[in-house]
Amino acid sequence: MGRKERAGQATEFLAKTRSFRYRLFPMEDDDFTHYDEAVQEAVDLANRLADNNPEADLWDIADGILAGVVHYWLYTRQPCGDPTCGDCDSISTAEERLKELLRITEELARGSEYFHSSYDLNVGRA
């Protein structure tokens, strides 16, 4: 799919994501955590960038946000330096941090309503 075609899908995607907050966070405001706020702000940022740049390739916007998120996640997961620290067990080397990042990313991807598509090649059509 080319840049223009993806940009053409922006309208449909944005229409869907405008109600993202409601669908993702149907709970009371009191339950709105920093995690929820970060998720919502990331989606809002993507939608704002797409709204402000109608010709933009949504893949570029999404890839840029993903790159920023990966950098920030790694920044926050630097081990504290105490070799006996239990909190840092799963992130005590670069490879362990990558493994943890990929585990979380896969979990989030598989849990996303956008993980499967009716256009997936392995979806049968009658």
| Dihedral sign for Cα atoms in the order 86, 90, 94, 100 | negative
Q: How far is the CB of 98 from Zn ion (least distance, A)?
A: 18
85 scored as a contact of Zn ion (CB under 5 A): yes
Site for Zn ion in 18-37 (CB under 5 A): none
87 scored as a contact of Zn ion (CB under 5 A): yes
- How many residues of this chain bind Zn ion (CB under 5 A)? 4
Q: How far is the CB of 92 from Zn ion (least distance, A)?
A: 8
102 scored as a contact of Zn ion (CB under 5 A): no
88 scored as a contact of Zn ion (CB under 5 A): yes
Nearest to 56 by CA among 9, 17, 101, 90: 9
Site for Zn ion in 65-84 (CB under 5 A): 80
Q: How far is the CB of 34 from Zn ion (least distance, A)?
A: 20
Token reading at 3: 């840049």
120 scored as a contact of Zn ion (CB under 5 A): no
Token reading at 4: 């223009």
Token reading at 54: 């109608």
Nearer CB in complex with Zn ion: 12/87: 87
Print burial letters for 91-124: b (CB count within 10 Å at least 16), e (below 16).
beeeeebeeebeeeeeeeeeeeeeeeeeeeeeee
The values of phi and psi at residue 16, to 5°, are -70, -45
Which chain residues interact with Zn ion by CB under 5 A?
Answer: 80, 85, 87-88
